[in-house]
Structures are given as structure tokens and as C-alpha cells.
């Protein structure tokens, strides 16, 4: 497939997604979810951005650029989010102020371990459906299984449901503004300062680690990050309809900073429109339950085991906002690759996996899925959204996520040898 053909298909697909979505989705909110997912998928792919990569790239290559950019994303989103809360009742929003308990710790460890095996997270597995289909497909199946089997634990275990410490606004977690009610801005000034300090501390540790890897000659860098930093000279006078302009608009990789800016912007839109942040993983458990129903298990049995309404497993797929948004992420990735003329090359490169790798993806997917039920979220639901919502739980999850990710990468290296150090273009 020539790249010009991919360009044309990309524009046709983009137009079809928008038109079909507008006509067939049941409400403007569902259409918004589609557009949000489309934007997230495009931004994640165009900028080689991902949440699992913050740990995986650091361990495998020594580069902590992505981890440092994640901290900037978290702080920036938290600062802008405060605009929604000052002078308002924060309980009117669906803020992810998660419990602080043993489940948060174990969930972080399990999720980090799993994302090292599968080279993706809950959002990354959606983009990888396009860029690394076999790995993503296996991971997604067992991710969904882990979520589904974890539903009863999440619903009933006190060490997952109840928090060890809490503050006034939300009884089941620590909302940082509650600790600084005296600061003149209802606690939000103090909460933002703490968020900045914790992010700066993380950036400092990451930079020290990177410098140590360079000093020990174990720093290799990431090919995509080098590509993103490449300087492009503008040749000749500007022409709107030219190959050079098209390449600049649709082909050249975005920098990590551009990706963070777009992702953060979409997150803010989600907060404003839906009054909630970004989540991804719970849907996979419902998808697994739908698969059980499809092979003959009664919907009532599936719903009873999960402790969820039967409608979650029987209602039309695209009547659920999270389903639409997650599907939009897949479509956004596909559009990004087609418009860049790199779909065929990228898709073919991700098709080959070994039997040993498949087994690791099974373990990785299940560990991530089950881990999300213990920590009440994934890298977006237990990390990004809670930090942006000024919840202490997000920072605690980060510590154990990194620990689990390092442990997972160590085990993966022992199993796979030198192959563990390969960082693929679609690694999240």
C-alpha cells in the first residue's frame, strides 16, 4: 500500500467515523466520547506517548524523558482542573479520590509487573490493537478476564473498599485541599504546591537515575525520542498544498510535550463536559462478561458473579460512554497511522510473536486486569486522574507501580534475555 493511498484512506476513515458517529450514536454525550477517544488515540500515537513507557523505557534504555513529561502532564492538568473546583462543591464532580489501603499497594505492584510483561497499559493496549495486534489481542483478553474475576474482590473486600486514612470532603480517601483549608484558596493553593513538590521530586530522582545510567554506559536512549527531537529545516517558500506542508501537519512525530498538551486538554474537556476524569480498564471486564454471554453463559449468572447490573452485559455496546471512548482510541490510532502513511509498515512489524512471548502477555494482561480491581483503577484511573483530582492515592500508586514495573522488567529480562532491551516504536 503506497503512502498516498494510506493518506486518502485515512481522510475517508476520519470523515466516516465522524459522520457515522453523529448519525448513529444515541446522544451528543456519546458523540463527544467518540471524539474524545479519537483525539486521545491520535495524540498517544502521534507523540509515542504512553503511561507504561514511563517505567519500561527508563528500565530498558535509561531514558526518563517520558517519566519526566508525565509529571509535567499531571501537574498541568491538576492546575487547570482547580478552575472547576474553586468556589464550587467538589462532591458534585465524580472525582477519583481513591481509598488508601493494602489493595492500592498490591494493585500498583501487580499492574506495574503486568505492564512490564505486556509493554502496555489499559490505554496503551487499545493503541496497540493497531500497532501490535497479536500482543494487544492476547493482553486484552486476559486483561478483561483479570478485571472480571476481580470484580467480586473489589466489591466485597474491606482492604480494597475501605481507606486507612481520609479527610473531610471525601470519606473514603485523602483530598489534598482538605489539608490546607487555611491557605486562602479553599485549600487548592496548598494542594497544588504539594503536587508540584511531589512531581519535582519524581523528576529529580528520574534525572539522577538517567545520569547514573549514562555514567555507567548503560544508557541507550529511545529511537522514537531521538526522532521526535530531530530538527527540520524549512526549505523554500511556504506552500499550503505541498508535500512538505502535509508532512509537517500529519507525518512528523509530535514531541512528547505536544502530546502531553493535547492529552491534558482532552482530559480537561472530559472534566468539564462529563464532570469526571479519564478511566479505561473497567470496560474490559464488561467486555469479557459479554464474551461469556456470547458463548452461552446466562447474563444473570455473569452479572451476579461480577456484582454488576445485568444491563452492563446485555445493553447495546455503543450505548455505554466508556465503550465508545475506548473504541474511539483504537480508531484514533488507526487514523494517525494512515494519515502518516505508516500503517502498513507498523502493522506488519507487530505481527510476529513467539510462543514464549504469548505466555508472558497472558500473565501480563491478567496481572494488570486483576490489579486494577485492587487499586480501583489503572494508569489513568488510579494514577493520572487521581493526581489531577488532587488525591493522595495517585502518588502512592505511582510508587508501587514503579516498584512493580522494575520487578516485572527484571523477571522479563531473565526470561527473554537481551530481547528485553528492545523498545518498540509502539511501546507504551
Above 50 in pLDDT, residue 244? yes
Q: Environment class of residue 56 by beta-carbon count within 10 Å: exposed (0-12), middle (13-18) or buried (19+)?
A: buried
At residue 232, the pLDDT reads 72
Above 60 in pLDDT, residue 389? yes
Task: Give pTM, 2 decimals.
Answer: 0.94
Domains of the chain, residue spans: 3-226+238-421
At residue 422, the pLDDT reads 52
pLDDT, the chain, mean: 94
Above 90 in pLDDT, residue 427? no
pLDDT tens-digit profile of 45-57?
999 999 999 999 9
At residue 140, the pLDDT reads 98
Q: Which percentage of the chain shows pLDDT scores above 70?
A: 97
Model confidence at 425, pLDDT cuts 50, 70, 90, reads very low
pLDDT tens-digit profile of 213-222?
999 999 999 9
At residue 231, the pLDDT reads 78
At residue 233, the pLDDT reads 72
pLDDT tens-digit profile of 283-312?
999 999 999 999 999 999 999 999 999 999
Of the two residues 235 and 310, the one the predictor is more confident about is 310
At residue 229, the pLDDT reads 84
State the average pLDDT over residues 84-108: 96
Above 60 in pLDDT, residue 421? no
Above 60 in pLDDT, residue 415? yes
pLDDT tens-digit profile of 68-83?
999 999 999 999 999 9
Rg (CA), the chain: 21
The 3-class secondary structure across the chain, one letter per residue, is CCHHHHHHHHHHHHHHHHHHHHHHCCCHHHHHHHHHHHHHHHHHHHCCCCCCHHHHHHHHHCCCHHHHHHHHHHHHHHHHHHHHHCCCCHHHCECCCCCCCHHHHHHHHHHHHHHHHHCCCCCHHHHHHHHCHHHHHHHHHHHHHHHHHHHHHHHHCHHHHCCCCCCCCCCCCCEHHHHHCCCCCCCHHHHHHHHHHHHHHHHHHHHHHHHHHHHCCCCCCCHHHHHHCCCCCCCCCCCCCCHHHHHHHHHCCCCHHHHHHHHHHHHHHHHHHHCECCCCCHHHHHHHHHHHHHCCCCHHHHHHHHCCCCHHHHCCHHHCHHHHHHHHHHHHHHHHHHHHCCHHHHHHHCCCCCHHHHHHHHHHHHHHHHHHHHHCCCHHHHHHHHHHCCEHHHHHHHHHHHHHHHHHHHHHHHHHHHHHHCCCCCCC
266 and 42 in contact (C-beta within 8 Å)?
no
pLDDT tens-digit profile of 28-46?
999 999 999 999 999 999 9
At residue 383, the pLDDT reads 97
At residue 228, the pLDDT reads 86
State the average pLDDT over residues 373-392: 97
Of the two residues 427 and 332, the one the predictor is more confident about is 332
Question: Residue 7: which residues within 8 A CB-CB, separation 6 or more?
Answer: 246, 250, 338, 339, 341
State the average pLDDT over residues 272-280: 94
Q: Which percentage of the chain shows pLDDT scores above 90?
A: 89
Model confidence at 1, pLDDT cuts 50, 70, 90, reads low
Residue with cell 530531530: 230
At residue 419, the pLDDT reads 62
97 and 381 in contact (C-beta within 8 Å)?
no
Residue with cell 462543591: 89
State the average pLDDT over residues 218-241: 83
Residue with cell 475517508: 12
At residue 141, the pLDDT reads 98
Above 70 in pLDDT, residue 392? yes
Amino acid at each position: 500500500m503506497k503512502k498516498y493511498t494510506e493518506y486518502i484512506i485515512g481522510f475517508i476513515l476520519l470523515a466516516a467515523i465522524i459522520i457515522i458517529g453523529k448519525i448513529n450514536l444515541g446522544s451528543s454525550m456519546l458523540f463527544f466520547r467518540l471524539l474524545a477517544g479519537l483525539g486521545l488515540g491520535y495524540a498517544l500515537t502521534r507523540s509515542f506517548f504512553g503511561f507504561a513507557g514511563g517505567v519500561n523505557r527508563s528500565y530498558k534504555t535509561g531514558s526518563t524523558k517520558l517519566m519526566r513529561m508525565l509529571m509535567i502532564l499531571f501537574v498541568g492538568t491538576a492546575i487547570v482542573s482547580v478552575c472547576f473546583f474553586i468556589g464550587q462543591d467538589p462532591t458534585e464532580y465524580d472525582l477519583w479520590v481513591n481509598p488508601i489501603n493494602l489493595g492500592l499497594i498490591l494493585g500498583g505492584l501487580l499492574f506495574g509487573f503486568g505492564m512490564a510483561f505486556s509493554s502496555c497499559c489499559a490505554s496503551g493496549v487499545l493503541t496497540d490493537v493497531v500497532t501490535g495486534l497479536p500482543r494487544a489481542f492476547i493482553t486484552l483478553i486476559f486483561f478483561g478476564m483479570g478485571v472480571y474475576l476481580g470484580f467480586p474482590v473489589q466489591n466485597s473486600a474491606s482492604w480494597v473498599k475501605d481507606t486507612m486514612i481520609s479527610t473531610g470532603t471525601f470519606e473514603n480517601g485523602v483530598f489534598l485541599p482538605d489539608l490546607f483549608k487555611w491557605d486562602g484558596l479553599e485549600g487548592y493553593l496548598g494542594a497544588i504546591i504539594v503536587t508540584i513538590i511531589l512531581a519535582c521530586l519524581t523528576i529529580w530522582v528520574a534525572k539522577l537515575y538517567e545520569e547514573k545510567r549514562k555514567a555507567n554506559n548503560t544508557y541507550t536512549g529511545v529511537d522514537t525520542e531521538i526522532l521526535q527531537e530531530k530538527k527540520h529545516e524549512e526549505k523554500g517558500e511556504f506552500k499550503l498544498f505541498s508535500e512538505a506542508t502535509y508532512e509537517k501537519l500529519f507525518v512528523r512525530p509530535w514531541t512528547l510535550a505536544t502530546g502531553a498538551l493535547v492529552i491534558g486538554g482532552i482530559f480537561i474537556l472530559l472534566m468539564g463536559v462529563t464532570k469526571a476524569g479519564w478511566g479505561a480498564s473497567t470496560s474490559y471486564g464488561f467486555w469479557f462478561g459479554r464474551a461469556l454471554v456470547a458463548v452461552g453463559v446466562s447474563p444473570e449468572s455473569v452479572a451476579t458473579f461480577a456484582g454488576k447490573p445485568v444491563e452492563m452485559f446485555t445493553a447495546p455496546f455503543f450505548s455505554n460512554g466508556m465503550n465508545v471512548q475506548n473504541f474511539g482510541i483504537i480508531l484514533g490510532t488507526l487514523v494517525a497511522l494512515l494519515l502518516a502513511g505508516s500503517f502498513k509498515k507498523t502493522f506488519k512489524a507487530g505481527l510476529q510473536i513467539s510462543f514464549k512471548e504469548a505466555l508472558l502477555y497472558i500473565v501480563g494482561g491478567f496481572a494488570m486486569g486483576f490489579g486494577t480491581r485492587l487499586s480501583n483503577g489503572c494508569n489513568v484511573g488510579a494514577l493520572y486522574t487521581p493526581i489531577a483530582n488532587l488525591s493522595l492515592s495517585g502518588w502512592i500508586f505511582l510508587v508501587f507501580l514503579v516498584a512493580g514495573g522494575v520487578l516485572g522488567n527484571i523477571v522479563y529480562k531473565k526470561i527473554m534475555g537481551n530481547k528485553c532491551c528492545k523498545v518498540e516504536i509502539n511501546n507504551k
